[in-house]
Structure 1
Amino acid sequence: MPPLIQWYPGHIAKAEKALKEQLKRVDVVIEVRDARIPLASCHPKMNEWIEGRSHLLVLNRVDAIPANIKIAWQDWFVSQKQTPFFTNAQAGKGVKGLLKAAATAGSHVNDRRKKRGMLPRPVRAVVIGFPNVGKSALINRLLKKRAVASANRPGVTRQLRWIRISDQIELLDTPGILPPLLDDQDAALKLAICDDIGTASYEYQLVAAAAVEILVTQNAPLEDRYGLAYANDEQSSGMGYLKAVAQTDRYQGDLERVARQVLHDFRKGRLGEIAIETPPNQK
């Protein structure tokens, strides 16, 4: 049986090669993850990319998860010796603190330059993350203007480029970079549910069915939204629920339409604040 999620990188493979070259010039790595799936949206090569550099971890879309889950992730990352920055890049929440932290994290560069009798230079930071986690929106907020293309779909940024934020900091904007192979299908499925990989890599119906099964555990208001309760019994399944909704008068048997609607509603927050992942050992 083929994997549920299949990804065939094109420009992304090229971008990763270019990123490795540019990293030689970088002082600070700003890693952006999706707050709904902080573990699944961690690139497996991130430890390699941050080696020898300051690292700032950003959990974007914090507005999409409940406040208690945010606190739980805060505590968990601190226990892992990391300090997460929670942001809502679309609204600008948490961005000012991140910019200050980036400048501080890279200050050692100019400390060394001063000791060598050299003039200071802007701190060089790179923004890295999976497609559609909000990197471009974050950069636009840091700049306080629309400097890079930003849209609610993966793959808008296609190449690397340096952007001057201020006299103190320069940012390297990168395309969303996926692994060449998505070996972890559980993580890949979560990325698909959250729209953090391209739609060509999965079938809406299968991903929506998996999403329904997760949404049920989070008490999402499915009945209010689709007019049909989820039957919690041994025979119930996400796909079964989608098929039942498709048979209602509203959808006239169109299963694909139901699948796309469920995913769209989740991604737009119309089913409420929902975290797809919670910290390890949390229930």
Structure 2
Amino acid sequence: MSSPPIQWYPGHIAKAERQLKEQLKRVDVVLEVRDSRIPLASHHPQLKQWIADKPRAIVLNRMDMIPQDLQQEWRNWFKEKSQTSYFTNAKQGKGIKAVKIAAQKAGTAMNQRRRDRGMRPRPVRAVVIGFPNVGKSALINRLVGKNVVVSERRAGVTRQLQWVRISPEIELLDAPGVIPWRIENQQDAVKLAICEDIGQAAYDNQLIAAAMVDLFSKLGFDDVLEARFHLNPANITGEAYIHDLAEQSYKGDKERVARQLLRDFRTGVMGAIPLELPL
């Protein structure tokens, strides 16, 4: 079963990207939100080009969906690359304080430069950037301390840019999820689809669920699927696994199997399972 390339670039994202590039001129610090399950695949390849030398903090959201020891491995990995990373669970409010402090520190440095030039201090302007559905809006609501932006577990909910005042010291720009107009790395695109960080119109559930089973086997998580569905995927393809599981437990309904597999992974029913490990 061959899959057409996964590409998803709806009109509202194209418009938001243009507006975002304009607003970035006013921004002091960038909070790049990624998915902890796929910290590399959920990085926008053009971000560095957009933000140039602006300070950036990498926020790895959904920390509850990967093992704790792996969180430390990723911290070390980013540190070796001179990048600052923060793990958060925006849904439960974990790790938020450290992100807020990081933004305030950037503001302190910015205002010192303003004072040195004889200018008055002002609130630090931060922008929250990331792929759709990685938890940007939930993070902003936690930083503000109340629900000021719409937050849902699906891609494409935020449709327009808006500035939100967090405190007298910080203003935040909430932007719709940005995604490359063309995803060159299709392995990354598959991971984004598995994690629901790309619109559902971009992919076929059965193909993506089969790719997920293959990836589980590659990463050594066969036992997770066997415990959940009483069928071991060892030595068969993901496509064959979906077929066999459909015949065994779902009256031959492969689409239902695919949706169940993806739902169980996405909602954490299968446990804390990463799809990427530090290189």
Q: What range is the shorter-chain TM-score in?
A: over 0.9
Q: How many residues align?
A: 276
Residue aligning to 2:150: 149
Is the Cα–Cα contact under 8 Å of residues 31 and 56 in structure 1 kept in the other structure?
yes
Quote the offset at 1:2 in angstroms.
6.3
Residue aligning to 1:223: 226
Q: Distance in 1 between matches of 2:28 and 2:208?
A: 38
Aligned counterparts, 1:32-47, within 5 A: 32-47=33-48
Q: What SS is found at the alignment partner of 2:160?
A: coil
Are positions 1:24 and 2:25 aligned together?
Answer: yes
* Identity between Structure 1 and Structure 2 (%): 57
CA deviation digits over 1:46-89, x for unaligned, max 9?
11122131111111111100122112111111111112101111
Are positions 1:59 and 2:70 aligned together?
Answer: no
Is the Cα–Cα contact under 8 Å of residues 220 and 271 in structure 1 kept in the other structure?
no
Residue aligning to 1:112: 113
Are positions 1:240 and 2:243 aligned together?
Answer: no
Residue aligning to 1:130: 131
Residue aligning to 2:255: 256
Residue aligning to 1:76: 77
Are positions 1:273 and 2:272 aligned together?
Answer: yes
Is the Cα–Cα contact under 8 Å of residues 3 and 185 in structure 1 kept in the other structure?
no
List alignment gaps of at least 5 residues for structure 2: none
Q: Distance in 1 between matches of 2:246 and 2:5?
A: 22
Q: Distance in 1 between matches of 2:8 and 2:265?
A: 22
Q: Distance in 2 between matches of 1:189 and 1:199?
A: 12
Quote the offset at 1:220 in angstroms.
4.6
216-225 vs 250-259, which moves further: 216-225
Are positions 1:181 and 2:182 aligned together?
Answer: yes
Are positions 1:204 and 2:199 aligned together?
Answer: no
Q: What SS is found at the alignment partner of 1:270?
A: coil
Q: Distance in 1 between matches of 2:23 and 2:243?
A: 49
Q: CA RMSD in A?
A: 1.3
CA deviation digits over 1:127-147, x for unaligned, max 9?
000000000000000011111
Is the Cα–Cα contact under 8 Å of residues 41 and 189 in structure 2 kept in the other structure?
yes
Give the TM-score normalised by the residue count of structure 2: 0.96
Q: What SS is found at the alignment partner of 2:167?
A: coil
Counterpart of 2:22, as a letter, is E
Q: Distance in 2 between matches of 1:41 and 1:153?
A: 15
CA deviation digits over 1:133-170, x for unaligned, max 9?
00000000001111100000000100111000000000
Q: Distance in 2 between matches of 1:173 and 1:43?
A: 16
Is the Cα–Cα contact under 8 Å of residues 9 and 178 in structure 1 kept in the other structure?
no
